[in-house]
Amino acid sequence: ITPAAMTIVFLGITIGTIMTMSSSNWLMAWIGLELNMLAILPIISKPKTTRASEATTKYFLTQAIASAMMLLSSTINVWQTGSWSILELKNKFSTTIMALSLMMKMGAAPIHFWLPEVLQGTTLQTALLITTWQKIAPVTLMYMISNNIQPAILVSAGILSMIVGGLGGINQTQLRKMMAYSSINNLGWTITIMAFSPNMALMNIFTYIIMTTPIFLMMTNMSTKTLQNLSTTWTTSMTMTLSIALLMLSTSGLPPFTGFMPKMLILNELISQKLTTLATLAI
C-alpha cells in the first residue's frame, strides 16, 4: 500500500470513530462505524497470506452483521418513537438488539468467536489497532444508551466474557490469541459495570488501552509472536522482557499494579449496589 493510500485509510479510521462518538443520530453513528470498518479492511489484508485474507473476510462479515443489527434496531425504534436520536432508544426489543450488535462489534462473549481468529491472522500493529482504537466507538455508543439497556443483559454478557476470556487464554501459546482473550476478559468487566456506573466502565476500558498499547509495541519491536519467542528474548533485551512481563501482570489486574485499580473500584461498586454474589463471581 502506498503512503497516500495509507494516509486515506488512517483518515477513514479516525474520522469514522470521531463521527460515531460525536453523533446524536443513529444514522450518522452507523455511517461512522461503516467508514471505520471499510477503512481497516485494507490494513488487515496487507500481508499477502491466506491467513490475512481469511481474517479480513471474518472481520468484514461479523462487522457487517453487527451493522445490520444496528440498523434493524434503530429502524424499529423509529417506528415506535418517531426519533432517530441515540438517547431516545426506548423500545426494549430495539435496546436488546442494539446491545448485542455493539457487543459483536467489540468482540464480547457470547459473540466473541471472530476476535482471536482475526488477531491471529494479521500483524501485531493491526492487532493493536483492533483491540484498542476499534473498541472506542462501540463503547461510546453503549455508554450513551447504558441507561436504557436492561442490567440483566449487560451483567450476563459481562460475566460470560470474563469466564471466556479467563479460560480461553490459559491454553494459548500464540501471544496475539492471548491478547485477544485478555481483551474479551477486560470487556467483561467494562460491560458488567456499564449497567451500574458507565463512567467507571469508560475509565476501565481506557486504562486497558493505555496498558495494552506498550505491550503490542514492544512485541512488535522484538518480533515476538509466541510464548517460546518471548522466553528467549531475555538474553537480547532484558529490560523490554521485564517490562512486558510487568505490563501483562498489570493487565491481568494483579495488585499493586495499575490494572488492579479499575477492577478494585468495579468490585467496590458492585458490592455497594448489593451485588455481592456478582462481585464474588467476578473475582
pLDDT in tens, 175-223: 999 999 999 999 999 999 998 999 999 999 999 999 999 999 999 998 8
Residue 278 contacts residue 263 (beta carbons within 8 Å): no
pLDDT the model gives residue 271: 85
Residue 148 contacts residue 189 (beta carbons within 8 Å): no
Residue 174 contacts residue 121 (beta carbons within 8 Å): no
pLDDT the model gives residue 281: 60
High-pLDDT (> 70) share of the chain, %: 97
User: What is the grid cell recorded at 276?
Assistant: 455481592
List own/partner pairs for 83-89 with CB under 8 A and 24 or more apart: 84/25, 84/26, 84/27, 85/24, 85/25, 85/26, 86/23, 86/24, 86/25, 86/26, 86/29, 86/141, 86/144, 86/145, 87/24, 87/144, 87/145, 89/145, 89/148
Average pLDDT over residues 249-259: 91
Report the distance separating Cα 14 and Cα 136, nearest Å: 11
User: What is the grid cell recorded at 54?
Assistant: 481469511
pLDDT confidence bin for 259, thresholds 50/70/90 = very high
**Does residue 74 carry a pLDDT above 60?**
yes
Average pLDDT over residues 83-93: 90
Chain segment 165-178, per-residue pLDDT in tens: 999 999 899 999 99
pLDDT the model gives residue 76: 94
DSSP string, 48-116: -SHHHHHHHHHHHHHHHHHHHHHHHHHHHHHHHHS--BGGG---HHHHHHHHHHHHHHHT-TTS-THHH
Report the distance separating Cα 254 and Cα 55, nearest Å: 32
pLDDT confidence bin for 229, thresholds 50/70/90 = confident
User: What is the grid cell recorded at 203?
Assistant: 475509565
**Does residue 1 carry a pLDDT above 90?**
no
pLDDT the model gives residue 23: 93
User: What is the grid cell recorded at 121?
Assistant: 491472522
**Does residue 276 carry a pLDDT above 80?**
no
Show the CA angle centred on residue 176, arms to residues 175 and 177, nearest 5°. 90
- Using DSSP's 3-state secondary structure scheme, residue 274 falls into coil
pLDDT the model gives residue 270: 86
pLDDT the model gives residue 36: 95
pLDDT the model gives residue 18: 96
Report the distance separating Cα 255 and Cα 280, nearest Å: 17
**Does residue 283 carry a pLDDT above 60?**
no
pLDDT confidence bin for 7, thresholds 50/70/90 = very high
**Does residue 38 carry a pLDDT above 90?**
yes
